Amino acid sequence: MELQNILYSKQGNIGLLTLNRPPANAINLATLLDIEKALDEAETDKEIRCLIITGAGEKGFSAGFDVSDPAGAGATGPKGQEVWTRIDRLTKPVIAAINGYAFGGGCELAMASTFRVMQENARIGLTELNLGIIPGWGGTQRMPRILGKSKALDLILFSKRLTAQEALEIGLVDKVSKVGELMKDVKEMAELLASRPPLAVKAVLNAVNTGIEKGLDEGIKVELEGIQMVSRSKDAVEGITAFMQKRKPTFTGE
């Protein structure tokens, strides 16, 4: 797999995707195409049970759209929407390890992830209006779903840049890590997620996403399909057997 602007590696059951255009890790069309390749790999590799996304260097997670991209917003904008939506709908948990500033499309990437862990000295926000443009990679949709309408509009319309603690207090991120401990904390979280039953994790992600996107009735249908699928799995037998035997279960994703 040839990659120009990201790094992708596999550590046991965890995939690690690193945006590799420091210091800002700005995202152009080539980067989005690289990310697609890594997502293909992570999605089809049965050994991968969790994906971590972070940025190279110490300064930025991602400053978002690369305004110098020769492809321009005309091509990069729709592809950014497509790739971030794919991350949002991935059948495996995704953790954004926010190691520096996450502005614009970088914030949108974090919000498309399942969980967000932020280093204490980092900053986050949808800052597009400062440039006379608007969030274009799902930010106008995901931020209100995470924070509610009025809070999201407050952050977007005033281009607020939040500290890690401020982001934690309003629920934009799930955990704050001390400087130097971010990847340790994120990898511990990823290991726990990787130990969960993969088929059940996939079913929960599908049901939750369907309900949020298509409403309660459709979500309930997908939930029922998930129940029927996992109840026939070897993991369900293992989970119940381990419970009866008072031991820790070992899930295989079958």
- CA contacts within 13 A on the Cβ side of 27: 34
Candidates 128, 166, 218, 223; catalytic one: 128
Spatial distance between the Cα atoms of 239 and 20, rounded to a whole number of angstroms: 40
Of the candidates 62, 139, 135, which has an alpha carbon nearest to the alpha carbon of residue 102?
62
Mark whether 225 is an active-site residue. no
- Catalytic residue, from 82, 108, 188, 218: name it: 108
Given phi > 0 = left and psi -120 to 50 = alpha, else beta, which region is 25? left
Q: Known catalytic residue: 128? A: yes
- The closest of 76, 101, 105 to 22, measured between CA atoms, is 101
Angle between helix 234-244 and 216-231 (nearest 10): 70
Q: Give the residue numbers annotated as catalytic, written as ranges.
A: 108, 128
